[in-house]
Amino acid sequence: MGNLSVGIDTAKGIAAALDIPLVGVHHMQAHALTPRLMTAVANAEESQKHESCTGAKEEKMTCLKPAFPFLTLLVSGGHTMLLDSRGLNEHRLLAETGDIAVGQFLDKAARAILLPELLEAPYGRALEDFAFQTTGDYGSTSASRDQRTIEDPAIPAYTEPCQARYGYSPPQTQQDLMKRHDGPWGWSLSPPLVERAGGESKRMAYSFAGLLTFVERLVTQRAADTGEVTLAERRALAQEVQRVAFEHLASRIMLYLTSRQAADWKGDTIVVSGGVAANKFLRHVLRSILDARGLRHIKLAFPPIELSTDNALMIAWAGIEMYDAGWRSSLDIGPIRKWSLDPTAPDGGILGAPGWVNEERSHDDGE
- In terms of Cα–Cα distance, which of 217, 198, 196, 201 is closest to 109? 217
Q: Which of 94-103, 175-184, 215-224 is predicted least confidently?
A: 175-184
What CATH code is carried by the domain that includes residue 152?
Answer: 3.30.420.40
Q: What is the mean pLDDT of residues 75-90?
A: 96
Judged by DSSP in three states, 143 sits in helix
What's the pLDDT score for residue 132?
A: 92
Q: Is the pLDDT of residue 300 over 70?
A: yes
Residue 14 sits in which domain range? 2-364
What's the pLDDT score for residue 139?
A: 35
CB-CB contact of 314 with 272 (8 Å): no
Alpha helices, H only, 227-279? 231-257
What's the pLDDT score for residue 102?
A: 98
Number of domains in the chain: 1
pLDDT digits (tens, 9 = 90+) for 120-148: 999 999 999 999 986 544 333 333 333 33
User: Between residues 365 and 84, which one has the greater pLDDT?
Assistant: 84
Q: What is the mean pLDDT of residues 332-348?
A: 95
pLDDT digits (tens, 9 = 90+) for 205-243: 999 999 999 999 999 999 998 888 999 999 999 999 999
Q: Which of 49-58, 78-87, 97-106, 140-149 is predicted least confidently?
A: 140-149
What's the pLDDT score for residue 61?
A: 57
